[in-house]
Chains A and B, each alone.
Chain A
Amino acid sequence: VSAAALDIADAVLRHTAGDEAEAIVLTEHSGLARFAGSEVHQPTLIDNATVTVRVVRGTRVSVALTNRIDDEGLRDVARRASESADSAPEDPTFPGLPDREPLPDVAGYDEETAELAAADQARLAEAAIAGAGSTLAYGYFTSARTELAVASSRGVAASQAMTDVTTLVLGAGEDLSGYAERTAWRVRDVDPEAVGREAAEKASRTHGALELASGVYRAVLERYAVADLLEYFAYDSLGALGLLEGRSYFTGRIGQAVFDPKITLADDSLDERGLPKAFDFEGQPKQRVPLVEEGVARGVVWDRQAAAQANDAQPSTGSAVPPHVRGFFGPIPLALSLAGGEADSLDELAQVVDDGIHVTRLHYLSVVDPREGVITGMTRDGTFRIRGGKVAEPLVNLRFTLSVPDLLADVPALTREVRLVNSSSYYDERYPYGVLAPALATARFTVTGVGSRPGI
């Protein structure tokens, strides 16, 4: 199933005249049935193939991309990359292209999912809408077959076909809204009707939301909120460039206790519960990368360029992103995995919190201070007061401005169950990724204001 992308990669390499060259091919065959007001209104079918060519002349490096995959298009993209390489200055820190490495066997491809057609995607979107019942549904069903291949003049020849499925539903009305989402690489692991039902049930409890005074609250964060916070924290703090440039909270803290001992966090692309990957965008093998173990900062993710900039004090962790997007952030974890705890349910977390708030999901996060891991954003689509260990009255959307390390420093409990949360918003080329997260209880969630009420 993965020959096609690798064939394209091999074909473009035949046109490169550089000293060394690498070709990355990402193909996409996807459908997304987006609905609003319980009707599909923006259905999008995409077929595309993107070829990225990196040409190296000595230590001069350049990248060109195209989606023209006929012979003329491949010849042209190779020429553009070669000409650009001639224009680039020498880069003494460039580590050269990597050699071929053995790759792990991973899951992540499902034929039934790969074969879903437009009619199936529309049908599954309708199932999600039906699940929401009389509550109006807003969201989408999407599935895709993507394929990534990396080949190089140094013998790298890696390819992987992947599938992914997501159903997202916002059940909403004039003054109520609830949210649910499921993601998997097998369509049989996602029940759109159940997602719709969950969103509508959540929405039904948000009518008549009340305001809340600013302050520091104990809180239950559902896995959607946990995943969002971890991702935004990771941009600056869990990648090698953030560490090297002093943006990371982990700067000077590797080996130190930074979080609650119940927090163990990894970047793990091999986990079958996630969206598994065998290799990164340089064809280097994926691995489980410990980031935090029992509250102690263990490291960040690296690609070969960042490793070279650190004088090879660290090896690559197989975390290279596509060369055209490496830019500011450098290598970042694309398969965050937070270990679960011992709580059996959200209700049990509410009992632990006793007096606080319940947060379903977050909205529009932004990093206020990367060095201290300070992030602001809003809660949305299911914020409640917790009183006497039980979820109580609904709350309006709350503004929070908090330090993620502070939030994770006192975590009384996490759920045993860990679920995949989709991270992709499907900008540009599709590359499925997500976060494996439990729900958790924290002693410190800092509310700094109130905003809009639930609902449309």
Chain B
Amino acid sequence: VRDLCERAVEAALASGASYADARVVTRRSQHVLTKNGRVEVVNDVESEGIGVRVLAGNAWGFACDRRLEPAGAEGAAGRAVEFARAAAGSHHRDLASIEPAEGTYRTPCERHPFDVSLEDKIGLCLAAEEAMRRPEIKVTQASVRALQERKTLVSSEGTAVVHELVECGGGIDAIAVSDATFQIRSYPSAHGGISRQSGWEYLDELGLVTEAPRVAEEAAALLQADVCPSGTTDVVIGAEQMALQVHESVGHPTELDRVYGTEASYAGTSFLKPRDLGSLAYGSSHMNILSDATTPGGLGTFAFDDEGVPARREHVVREGVLSGFLTSRETAARIGAGAGGSMRADGWSRMPLVRMTNLHLEPGEGSLEELLAGVREGVYLDTNRSWSIDDKRLNFQFGTQLAREIRNGELGRLLRDATYTGITPVFWASLDGVAGPEEWRLYGVTNCGKGQPGQSAHVSHGAAPARFRSVQVGVQT
């Protein structure tokens, strides 16, 4: 495979490219989804190919080929240079300098998920579903997923690195329906559960079957719950919802390609400007956001990114102040800070883009109960149900599956159909407490969309429950 990459790089240089890199990716994944006691999905997917990225003149070019043979590699290299030349730019493109890297990274894995039989995977899903059965529940569903990816990157600057990644995860949902309403509860997270870079031991830790009765009970209870009242109030947001809050309102706006507008036509831009680095008040002093491509189990964990930049661990927000951006070599050179390290591509057929790796809200101190104790009247919110944020990542609105009244520091009645909304820096400025390390959890999503053509990134977020003052809950019309 390394030979094939080298061939592609050499072909690109011979065609006139000043820089080239080639990635061969072979990926296999399994997905099992059961719904209402029947197997809805049993997928076993494999995909392989080579993607070649070139810099020719002042323009990037990218082409790919599914054939892992010399003709495929050299053909892709030639087409990439041809495309770059056809769309020649006038802006000079510098790349932050890096040392050529060599190495191999493997996900630590006790039990490879492909060593677990399909029968066992299906059996786990059906057992979890069975444990959710109760009269109020109209739909039960359970899913598990597993992925292995072998990726070889070779560049014209001498980088040659190999990654062998293993992921797995799962989740369950109970959906309760009455004439009046439709309610859902999920575990361990909404939208398909949580995944980690890990062996099957992670599924054992999740305890999908054990948690199932509680999930169903909560979904049924939501049918009888009152609608969450609208108004401005204090909120405590659970760790799971905080993970998405970090993703949408900190992760995406700190991607430097968005700041420079290169994502404007699809995912959007950012309210941040390059000049804000080191000075912009993003939030209160309780806000510390760490980008960490070394987090054990993180879906964004690697040794080198897709430009061969070593994994980095650095704050993007420290004590409330913007202290870093997520960068590529090109954007790092442009801003004159950092050295890249966040370039990731979805498989072999897409160009690398600036993506989150693992982005965490660092824990504060104390327990969830201690956070709640500081609220005389408010709402506890957790588990995402809907999410939307504007193109500059300022105005957001999230809905949650579950809400509970907070009165005099204690959780009260269950509430349904809760939403909360805010303006990113105003919202984060109202943060006045993050629970401690014992409440901190690592979440992982596999559907972070960006780019044209679209790419899905796998990213993780660690978060603990957090308390915010004077937040708009519900819709104001």
Q: Are A48 and B349 in contact (CB under 8 A)?
A: yes
**Is the CB of B389 closer than 8 A to any CB of chain A?**
yes
Which residue of A35, A47, A140 contacts B65 across the interface (Cβ within 8 Å)?
A47
Given contacts A63-B43, A245-B177, contact A427 B455 (CB under 8 A): yes
- Which residues of A have CB within 8 Å of B417? 368-369
Tell me the residues in window 425-477 of chain B with beta carbons closer than 8 Å to chain A beta carbons.
449, 451-456, 475-477
- Which residues of B have CB within 8 Å of A43? 59-62, 83-84, 86-87
Q: Are B264 and A61 in contact (CB under 8 A)?
A: no
**Is the CB of A314 closer than 8 A to any CB of chain B?**
no
CA of A326 to CA of B31, assembled, Å:
12
Q: Are B477 and A39 in contact (CB under 8 A)?
A: no
- Which residues of A have CB within 8 Å of B76? 45
**Is the CB of A300 closer than 8 A to any CB of chain B?**
no
**Is the CB of A190 closer than 8 A to any CB of chain B?**
no
Q: Are A48 and B49 in contact (CB under 8 A)?
A: yes
Q: Are A327 and B452 in contact (CB under 8 A)?
A: no
Q: Are B89 and A32 in contact (CB under 8 A)?
A: no
CB distance from B216 to the nearest CB of A (A): 15
Q: Are A46 and B46 in contact (CB under 8 A)?
A: no
Q: Are B43 and A64 in contact (CB under 8 A)?
A: yes
Q: Are B87 and A36 in contact (CB under 8 A)?
A: no
Closest to B176 in A: A246
Given contacts A88-B122, A247-B182, A452-B395, contact A49 B454 (CB under 8 A): no
CA of A380 to CA of B351, assembled, Å:
27
Q: Are B182 and A370 in contact (CB under 8 A)?
A: yes
CA of A42 to CA of B84, assembled, Å:
9
Which residue of B48, B86, B387 contacts A118 across the interface (Cβ within 8 Å)?
B86
CB distance from B83 to the nearest CB of A (A): 4
**Is the CB of A67 closer than 8 A to any CB of chain B?**
yes
CA of A451 to CA of B122, assembled, Å:
45
CB distance from B137 to the nearest CB of A (A): 11
- Which residues of A have CB within 8 Å of B62? 42-45
- Interface residues as binary, B117-129 with A (CB distance below 8 Å gives 1, 0 otherwise): 1110010001000
CA of A50 to CA of B45, assembled, Å:
10
- Which residues of A have CB within 8 Å of B454? 425-428
CA of A61 to CA of B39, assembled, Å:
8
CA of A378 to CA of B397, assembled, Å:
10
CA of A170 to CA of B177, assembled, Å:
42
**Is the CB of B146 closer than 8 A to any CB of chain A?**
no
Given contacts A31-B83, A380-B391, contact A36 B452 (CB under 8 A): no
**Is the CB of A40 closer than 8 A to any CB of chain B?**
yes
Tell me the residues in window 87-127 of chain B with beta carbons closer than 8 Å to chain A beta carbons.
87, 89-91, 117-119, 122, 126
- Which residues of A have CB within 8 Å of B46? 64-68, 77
CA of A366 to CA of B66, assembled, Å:
35
**Is the CB of A404 closer than 8 A to any CB of chain B?**
no
**Is the CB of A125 closer than 8 A to any CB of chain B?**
yes
Closest to A53 in B: B44
CA of A119 to CA of B85, assembled, Å:
9
- Interface residues as binary, A60-104 with B (CB distance below 8 Å gives 1, 0 otherwise): 011111111100000001001101100111010100000000000
Q: Are A87 and B83 in contact (CB under 8 A)?
A: no
Q: Are B33 and A364 in contact (CB under 8 A)?
A: no
Tell me the residues in window 391-436 of chain A with beta carbons closer than 8 Å to chain B beta carbons.
397, 399, 401, 425-428, 430
Given contacts A40-B59, A47-B65, A89-B122, contact A364 B389 (CB under 8 A): yes
- Which residues of B have CB within 8 Å of A446? 477
Report which residue of B79, B266, B388, B451 has the largest number of chain A beta carbons within 10 angstroms of its beta carbon. B388
Which residue of B42, B385, B394 contacts A61 across the interface (Cβ within 8 Å)?
B42
**Is the CB of B410 closer than 8 A to any CB of chain A?**
no
Given contacts A41-B262, A46-B453, contact A214 B476 (CB under 8 A): yes
Closest to A70 in B: B67
- Which residues of A have CB within 8 Å of B266? 425
Q: Are B119 and A87 in contact (CB under 8 A)?
A: yes
CA of A447 to CA of B151, assembled, Å:
47
- Which residues of B have CB within 8 Å of A273? none
Given contacts A425-B454, A452-B390, contact A376 B397 (CB under 8 A): yes
Which residue of B87, B122, B475 contacts A125 across the interface (Cβ within 8 Å)?
B87
Inter-chain CB contacts under 8 Å: number: 277
CA of A246 to CA of B183, assembled, Å:
10
Tell me the residues in window 40-85 of chain B with beta carbons closer than 8 Å to chain A beta carbons.
40-49, 59-66, 76, 79-80, 82-84
The tally of residues in A whose CB lies under 8 Å from a CB in B reads 96
Given contacts A63-B43, A118-B83, A378-B391, contact A41 B60 (CB under 8 A): yes
Q: Are B265 and A168 in contact (CB under 8 A)?
A: yes
CA of A46 to CA of B61, assembled, Å:
12
CA of A215 to CA of B477, assembled, Å:
5
Which residue of A32, A50, A89 contacts B453 across the interface (Cβ within 8 Å)?
A32
Q: Are B421 and A119 in contact (CB under 8 A)?
A: no
**Is the CB of B277 closer than 8 A to any CB of chain A?**
no
**Is the CB of B134 closer than 8 A to any CB of chain A?**
no
Q: Are A139 and B265 in contact (CB under 8 A)?
A: yes
CA of A44 to CA of B138, assembled, Å:
44
CB distance from A321 to the nearest CB of B (A): 12
Which residue of B89, B138, B261, B388 contacts A246 across the interface (Cβ within 8 Å)?
B138
CB distance from B257 to the nearest CB of A (A): 9
CA of A376 to CA of B419, assembled, Å:
11
Q: Are A45 and B79 in contact (CB under 8 A)?
A: yes
Tell me the residues in window 211-252 of chain B with beta carbons closer than 8 Å to chain A beta carbons.
none
CB distance from A15 to the nearest CB of B (A): 15
CA of A112 to CA of B342, assembled, Å:
40
CA of A380 to CA of B33, assembled, Å:
36
**Is the CB of B11 closer than 8 A to any CB of chain A?**
no
**Is the CB of B386 closer than 8 A to any CB of chain A?**
yes
CA of A125 to CA of B83, assembled, Å:
12
Which residue of B64, B397, B449 contacts A47 across the interface (Cβ within 8 Å)?
B64
Q: Are A397 and B453 in contact (CB under 8 A)?
A: no
Q: Are A88 and B63 in contact (CB under 8 A)?
A: no
Given contacts A63-B44, A88-B122, A456-B261, contact A47 B66 (CB under 8 A): yes
- Which residues of A have CB within 8 Å of B265? 34, 36, 138-140, 168-170
- Which residues of B have CB within 8 Å of A44? 62-64, 349-351, 453
Q: Are A36 and B33 in contact (CB under 8 A)?
A: no
Given contacts A31-B83, A377-B388, contact A245 B138 (CB under 8 A): yes
Q: Are B79 and A368 in contact (CB under 8 A)?
A: no
CB distance from B329 to the nearest CB of A (A): 14
CA of A19 to CA of B341, assembled, Å:
50
- Interface residues as binary, B364-406 with A (CB distance below 8 Å gives 1, 0 otherwise): 0000000000000000000001111111101101010000000
**Is the CB of A448 closer than 8 A to any CB of chain B?**
yes
CB distance from A266 to the nearest CB of B (A): 26
**Is the CB of A172 closer than 8 A to any CB of chain B?**
yes
| Sample of 16 more A-B contacts, CB < 8 Å, known A48-B64, A80-B44, A378-B388 | A44-B62, A45-B79, A50-B47, A64-B46, A88-B42, A118-B79, A122-B86, A138-B262, A170-B265, A323-B41, A324-B45, A364-B389, A365-B388, A366-B386, A376-B399, A427-B449
Q: Sorted from nearest, which 4 A-B pairs have the closest CB atoms? A: A451-B395, A426-B453, A40-B87, A122-B86
Chain A contacts to B: CB under 8 angstroms:
30-37, 39-50, 61-69, 77, 80-81, 83-84, 87-89, 91, 93, 118-119, 121-123, 125-126, 136, 138-140, 142, 168-170, 172, 177, 214-216, 245-247, 323-324, 326-328, 363-371, 376-378, 380, 397, 399, 401, 425-428, 430, 446-452, 456
Chain B contacts to A: CB under 8 angstroms:
31, 33, 38-49, 59-66, 76, 79-80, 82-84, 86-87, 89-91, 117-119, 122, 126, 138-139, 141, 175, 177, 181-182, 260-266, 268-269, 271, 349-351, 353, 385-392, 394-395, 397, 399, 417, 419, 421, 423, 449, 451-456, 475-477
Q: What are some 14 contacts across the A-B interface (CB < 8 A)?
A: A39-B91, A40-B89, A42-B62, A42-B262, A64-B43, A93-B38, A119-B82, A121-B83, A122-B86, A172-B261, A324-B43, A364-B389, A368-B419, A449-B421
